[in-house]
Amino acid sequence: MSAYILSGAMIPMGKHTNASYAGLAVPPVRRAIRESGLSRADIGAVYCGHAFGGMLTGQRIVKDLGIGGVPVVNIDNACSGGASAVQAACQAVEAGIVDVALVIGVDKLTQFGGGTLPLVTEDWEVRQGMVMPALYAMRARRYLHERDATPADLAAVAVKARRHGMTNPFAQIRKAATVEEVLASRVICDPLTLFQCCPTGDGAAALVVVSEGRFRRLGKSGLRVRASVLHSGTATTGFRDMLRPEITYHSAAEAYEVAEVDPKDLDLVELHDAFTIAELVYYEALGLCKPGHSAALLRSGATSQGGRTVVNPSGGLLAKGHPVGCSGVAQVVEAFWHLTDQAGARQIPNARLALTHVTGGGISGLDHGACTVHIFERAS
Amino acid sequence: MDTHDKPAGERPDDTMPNLDLGETERLVARTPLGEHTVMGGECGDCSARMAPSRPVCPNCGGTNIHPAALDSLGTLYSFSVVHVSATREVPYTIGYVDLPKNVRVLAAIDGDPAELRCDQVVRLVPDTGDGWRFAPASVEEKDMR
Ligand SMILES: [Zn+2]
């Protein structure tokens, strides 16, 4: 029995300094419930993904809507928190434990006043000066060393993200940039420049996930969850190939196997482009191209709007924004809109299959702490 | 080695926390010949080597880890000059250094960043604070290796 996404909603990402966590999340939760055609009383469980909301974030949100009594589970998995909440909801629905689940992804990064994410200082590498952009910058440096690619290839990822973001009214950055402008922006962690790093912002998104029985009875259009995969990283004390992120390779392979889907059948992908280099490395890890062919794939236009497999039609984390725990849910909302013909100006015609991918966290010895991959199919 | 010499309710030794936030262990060792090397740990059960040392081996889960003087020369896998930090003065350069026998350490990298290259040989700088510092090795040292 599959789980189904019945509705989805989000707020535009940006600097919503005067909104609390509830202030951010209540509007998309209300709208997702309204669009589902169900009522508050139908919700059997709530899964709230966040990284920096503090204690009882989910309860602080749903109490304002009069939702209570049911289990509310708060999930932190860094950037993968929201998608982990989606996975938990799908698992509960598929197992028949819950008939209707509400998923929330929310985070408010403006509370930190900008700059890099605050990492856990118990970690040895963090104490040695590791920051998230440095981790990706080292990956980028290695990519430029091993691959037939130049800094302009990295910049081209940001150019595409911003071009896509211009068509998305929910995107935090809606301004085009040229390769030259991307490369000329301020250096954050060499070779990554400011325009190659996701912006700091706030966001919230919500989904209603229902059982197959409920979906059939309602007779609405939505998304069938073909795969919902969550993996954690495995520690090593030695060598790690930074261009072969093991956690994404493994998660994607499992998702394709469970869904019985071939990467070339995907119409759109929302992947974890927190930094430009990530998109190129994940083309390879998600099987969108052979290892070593990612820069050529981007140059070919196949992953741009109008191409064979549009990657990050929303603008991705680079342009849409990346309020950590929100992102995994917001990716599914974007997929939902495309697969239900509601994406407006950026609609991918006849989109049938979508994949969402988000990793989480930087910890010593790991590729990443968490990785979630979902595959969705248009259903009615 | 895990010991279970007391009944579980009488607080066996292996039920005490690992005080891994205490004094930083010695990070640099000196060989009899006076050479400075990275100080780490080696697992007595599976031979995995690691730096810094830690209470439990991530490779096999055992606790039979003893201190080990590792190496002083390694290769620079990748590096970045960090220009944004909330906690320390910028810019600073960090990189992953691969030591022989499969040990990777994150370290500060000295020298002109414009001259640094992936896969170049780097040597431990003896004057280390609460982390390791490496710098490009001299031509002779590369030949020695
Ligand atoms: Zn071991």
- Are A215 and A236 members of one domain? no
Contacts of B98 in chain A (CB under 8 A): 238-239
For residue B24, pLDDT over 70 is answered with no
CB contact under 8 A, A187 and B83: yes
| Residues A165 and A315 sit within 8 Å (Cβ to Cβ) | yes
What is the structure's pLDDT at B127? Answer: 73
What is the structure's pLDDT at B142? Answer: 64
Q: Of all helices (H) and strands (E), which one includes residue B142?
A: helix B139-144
- Are A8 and A143 members of one domain? no
- Are A160 and A253 members of one domain? yes
Domain boundary among A224, A259, A281: A224
Q: With respect to residue A319, please indicate whether it lies within any of the assigned structural domains.
A: yes
The pLDDT tens digits for A178-196 are: 999 999 999 999 999 999 9
Q: With respect to residue A139, please indicate whether it lies within any of the assigned structural domains.
A: yes
Interface contact B17, partner A, CB < 8 A:
no
For residue A214, pLDDT over 70 is answered with yes
- Are A100 and A29 members of one domain? yes
Mutate to test the interface with A, among B83, B96, B102 (most CBs of A within 10 A): B83
The band of B53, judged by pLDDT with boundaries at 50, 70 and 90, is very high
- Are A151 and A211 members of one domain? no
Q: With respect to residue A327, please indicate whether it lies within any of the assigned structural domains.
A: yes
- Are A82 and A166 members of one domain? no
What is the structure's pLDDT at B1? Answer: 43
Distance B55 CA to ligand 1 centre (A): 11
User: In degrees to the nearest 10, what's the CA dihedral of A147, A150, A151, A157?
Assistant: -70
Which has the minimum average pLDDT: A19-23, A150-154, A324-328, B131-135?
A: B131-135
**pTM: predicted TM-score of the whole model, two decimal places:** 0.96
Specify the number of domains making up chain A: 2
- Which chain B residue is nearest to residue A241, measuring alpha carbons? B77
Distance A242 CA to ligand 1 centre (A): 23
**What is the average pLDDT across A202-207?**
98
Q: What does the alpha-carbon distance between residue A263 and residue A253 come to, in Å, rounded to a whole number?
A: 10
- Are A104 and A253 members of one domain? no
What is the structure's pLDDT at B143? Answer: 60
CB contact under 8 A, B50 and A237: yes
**What is the average pLDDT across B22-29?**
76
Q: Which residues pair with A211 in a beta bridge?
A: A3
Q: With respect to residue A354, please indicate whether it lies within any of the assigned structural domains.
A: yes
Q: What does the alpha-carbon distance between residue A96 and residue A254 come to, in Å, rounded to a whole number?
A: 22
For residue A41, pLDDT over 60 is answered with yes
Active site residues of A: 79
What is the structure's pLDDT at A362? Answer: 76
- Are A288 and A368 members of one domain? yes
Domains and CATH numbers, chain B: 1-70 (no CATH), 73-144 (2.40.50)
Contacts of B89 in chain A (CB under 8 A): none
Q: With respect to residue A277, please indicate whether it lies within any of the assigned structural domains.
A: yes
- Are A104 and A240 members of one domain? no
- Are A153 and A170 members of one domain? yes
CATH number for the domain that contains residue A334: 3.40.47.10
**What is the average pLDDT across A233-243?**
95
**What is the average pLDDT across B59-77?**
95
- Are A320 and A179 members of one domain? yes
Report the residue from B84, B104, B130 with minimal CB separation from A239.
Answer: B104
Q: What does the alpha-carbon distance between residue A24 and residue A35 come to, in Å, rounded to a whole number?
A: 18
| Percent of chain A residues topping a pLDDT of 70 | 100
Q: With respect to residue A118, please indicate whether it lies within any of the assigned structural domains.
A: no
What is the structure's pLDDT at B145? Answer: 52
CB contact under 8 A, B131 and A127: yes
What is the structure's pLDDT at B34? Answer: 85
Q: With respect to residue A317, please indicate whether it lies within any of the assigned structural domains.
A: yes
What is the structure's pLDDT at B96? Answer: 98
| Residues B49 and B102 sit within 8 Å (Cβ to Cβ) | yes
Three-state secondary structure of chain A: CCEEEEEEEECCCECCCCCCHHHHHHHHHHHHHHHHCCCHHHCCEEEEECCCCCCCHHHHHHHHHCCCCCCEEEECECECHHHHHHHHHHHHHHCCCCCEEEEEEEEEHHHHCCCCCCCCCCCHHHHCCCCHHHHHHHHHHHHHHHCCCCHHHHHHHHHHHHHHHCCCCCCCCCCCCCHHHHHHCCEEECCEEHHHECCCCEEEEEEEEEEHHHHHHHCCCEEEEEEEEEEECCCCCCCCCCCCCHHHHHHHHHHHHHHCCCHHHCCEEECCCCEHHHHHHHHHHCCCCCCCCHHHHHHHCCCCCCCCCEECCCCHHHHCCCCHHHHHHHHHHHHHHHHCCCCHHHCCCCCCEEEEEEEECCCCCCCCCEEEEEEEEEEC
Q: What does the alpha-carbon distance between residue A317 and residue A51 come to, in Å, rounded to a whole number?
A: 16
Distance B27 CA to ligand 1 centre (A): 20
Encode A266-280: b = buried (16+ Cβ within 10 Å), e = exposed.
Answer: bbbbbbbbbbbbbbb
- Are A274 and A129 members of one domain? yes
Interface contact B138, partner A, CB < 8 A:
no
Report the residue from B58, B96, B103 with minimal CB separation from A138.
Answer: B96
What is the structure's pLDDT at A122? Answer: 85
**Residue recorded with tokens 């009875």:** A217
Which domain does A156 fall in, by range?
124-197+227-379
Q: With respect to residue A119, please indicate whether it lies within any of the assigned structural domains.
A: no
Q: Of all helices (H) and strands (E), which one includes residue B140?
A: helix B139-144
CB contact under 8 A, B108 and A129: yes
Contacts of B83 in chain A (CB under 8 A): 186-190
